[in-house]
Amino acid sequence: MNFPSRNFALVHRLSGIALALFLPLHFWALGQALQGDAKLESFLRWTDQPLVKASEWAIVLLLAIHLTGGVRILMIEFLPWREWQKTLAAVAAATALAIGLLFALSSTAHAQNWPQKSVRFIVPFPPGGATDISARMVGQKLAEIWGQTVVIENRGGAGGGVGAAEAARAAPDGYTFFFPSGSVMTANQHIYAKMAYNPEKDFVPVTNVVSGPQVLVVAANSPYKSVKELIDAARAQPGKLTFGHAGIGSQTHLAAENFVNAAGINAVQVPYKGEGPSLVGLVGGDTTFAVTNVAAAIGHIGSGRLRALGVTSKVEFAQLPGVPPIAKTLPGFENTGWFGIVAPTGTSRDIIQKVYQDTKKALESTEMRARLYVQGLAPVGNTPEEMGHAMKEETALWARVVRERNIKVE
């Protein structure tokens, strides 16, 4: 074999080794880089299918076979290598195979070993509201499953925007998740001219945890004892009645706006920094009414501090017997809220899948279902794909409502 041939053989050998080492790393890095891009989520989910994963393993094995064959033919047969050189070539082939398998298994192993420390749920409203109640109930159950503490951090303000911005800035390491109400992800972008987060780019869906209707409430000493009485009073005194809510763009704000719009009344909104504070204001007589989540109001109703006039579900709500649907007064009226988990963009898809599966497991327990029922909440636990699709549809819906109601914050 002449000198140029030796060079070609050497190039072939080195490139083969480089390919076997580089290709698995390349696809792993590509997946990490692209996994947070919402436009490519469907493609990345496709790569999680068993058949695709099997094909990835086949590629790794084929590369190893190619490398081994190349070493045998080009390095051993054609070149006068000594025994120690043959051994080195064999070790190189085995190393390439091991590294390839290592990268193929790395993400799965990472998810299996997760979590190794406490997990943080950022809730974008103060304690006492339905979002906070939902997060704490589910977080407690997940802590039992994971064997690690789930820390609930309340970051209220700007209709959930303050907490959302902090969650968006968090490292996508699988130890920080965002637990918003639906409006924070699907309505705020149509209301606020400037936001420190982008719901579609900064987060990826994990699962919709729970959902539930709202309830129209007034203070216990209020003169209004029915939906009709409240509407008649508002029509007789345009702009005099007030309603409190958890913040502009919050789920309770939009629910109230829907009610005001459907009733054809003129009432003045009073934003608070959370659902809990808004109910305290209502109990204290600072506002006239609120359309709030059942989970946040049910304790006040049970203790007699608030009077429930109607629920936003189409039928009577079992947890509030005797409280009629608002639809009996305003035919066709309905409004439902939800609370879920999303992750900062870039979070491992395997960890997202594990959080979804463990949350679904938590929601399926008899104990959890009973606790949610008492709070007026229904378990959901849909897949990341289903949650993402539902959020897109809801985003389009709120875009229309916000435009029609002219709800804007400059």
Same domain, 138 and 179: yes
The pLDDT value recorded for residue 85 is: 55
Q: Is the pLDDT of residue 156 over 60?
A: yes
For β-strands 378-379 and 268-271, DSSP reports them as: unpaired
- What CATH number is given to the structural domain containing 266? 3.40.190.10
Answer whether residue 309 is part of any domain.
yes
C-alpha closest to that of 164 among 175, 173, 176: 176
The pLDDT value recorded for residue 40 is: 47
Same domain, 207 and 223: no
Answer whether residue 128 is part of any domain.
yes
Higher pLDDT, 97 or 382: 382
For β-strands 378-379 and 203-219, DSSP reports them as: antiparallel
Q: Is the pLDDT of residue 3 over 50?
A: no
The pLDDT value recorded for residue 57 is: 67
Q: Is the pLDDT of residue 94 over 70?
A: no
For β-strands 306-311 and 203-219, DSSP reports them as: antiparallel
The pLDDT value recorded for residue 209 is: 98
Longest pairwise C-alpha distance within the chain: 104
3-class SS of residue 395: helix
Q: Is the pLDDT of residue 133 over 80?
A: yes
Read off φ and ψ for residue 344, nearest 5 degrees. -60, 140
Same domain, 302 and 329: yes
Same domain, 207 and 217: no
The mean per-residue pLDDT over the stretch 122-126 comes to 96
The mean per-residue pLDDT over the stretch 302-306 comes to 97
Same domain, 250 and 164: no
Q: Is the pLDDT of residue 10 over 60?
A: no
Same domain, 177 and 247: no
pTM over 0.75: no
The pLDDT value recorded for residue 1 is: 46
The mean per-residue pLDDT over the stretch 232-261 comes to 95
Domain boundary among 113, 146, 169: 113
Answer whether residue 410 is part of any domain.
no
The pLDDT value recorded for residue 184 is: 96
Higher pLDDT, 41 or 112: 112
Q: Is the pLDDT of residue 53 over 70?
A: no
The mean per-residue pLDDT over the stretch 385-409 comes to 91
Q: Predicted confidence band at 158 (pLDDT cuts at 50, 70, 90)?
A: confident
Mean pLDDT over all residues of the chain?
84
Q: Is the pLDDT of residue 190 over 50?
A: yes
Answer whether residue 183 is part of any domain.
yes
Domain boundary among 59, 94, 113: 113
Q: Is the pLDDT of residue 58 over 70?
A: no
| 76-80, 237-241, 350-354, range with the lowest pLDDT | 76-80
Dihedral over alpha carbons 331, 301, 257, 122 (to 10 degrees): -130
Q: How far is CA 75 from CA 9, 16, 49, 78, 97, in A?
A: 8, 12, 38, 6, 18
Query: Are the C-beta atoms of residues 217 and 383 closer than 8 Å to each other?
Result: no
* pLDDT one-digit tens code per residue, 252-292: 999 999 999 999 999 999 999 899 999 999 999 999 999 99
Same domain, 287 and 207: no
The pLDDT value recorded for residue 308 is: 98
* pLDDT one-digit tens code per residue, 195-235: 999 999 999 999 999 999 999 999 999 999 999 999 999 99
Same domain, 306 and 263: yes
Percentage of the residues of the chain whose pLDDT score is greater than 70: 73
Percentage of the residues of the chain whose pLDDT score is greater than 90: 67
Q: Is the pLDDT of residue 28 over 60?
A: yes
The span from the CA of 172 to the CA of 201, in Å, is 13
Same domain, 332 and 217: yes
Q: Predicted confidence band at 38 (pLDDT cuts at 50, 70, 90)?
A: very low
Q: Predicted confidence band at 39 (pLDDT cuts at 50, 70, 90)?
A: very low
DSSP letter for 327, please. G
How many domains does the chain fold into?
Answer: 3
Same domain, 158 and 296: no
Q: Which two tokens stand for residue 18?
A: 């480089």
Domain that holds residue 291: 212-337
The pLDDT value recorded for residue 337 is: 92
| 71-75, 367-371, 386-390, range with the lowest pLDDT | 71-75
The mean per-residue pLDDT over the stretch 1-6 comes to 48
Domain boundary among 290, 308, 337: 337
The mean per-residue pLDDT over the stretch 73-89 comes to 55
Q: Is the pLDDT of residue 406 over 90?
A: no
Same domain, 265 and 294: yes
State whether the Cα torsion 242-246-247-253 is positive or negative.
negative
- What CATH number is given to the structural domain containing 383? 3.40.190.150
The mean per-residue pLDDT over the stretch 360-388 comes to 95
Q: Predicted confidence band at 102 (pLDDT cuts at 50, 70, 90)?
A: low
Q: Is the pLDDT of residue 8 over 50?
A: no
Same domain, 177 and 107: no
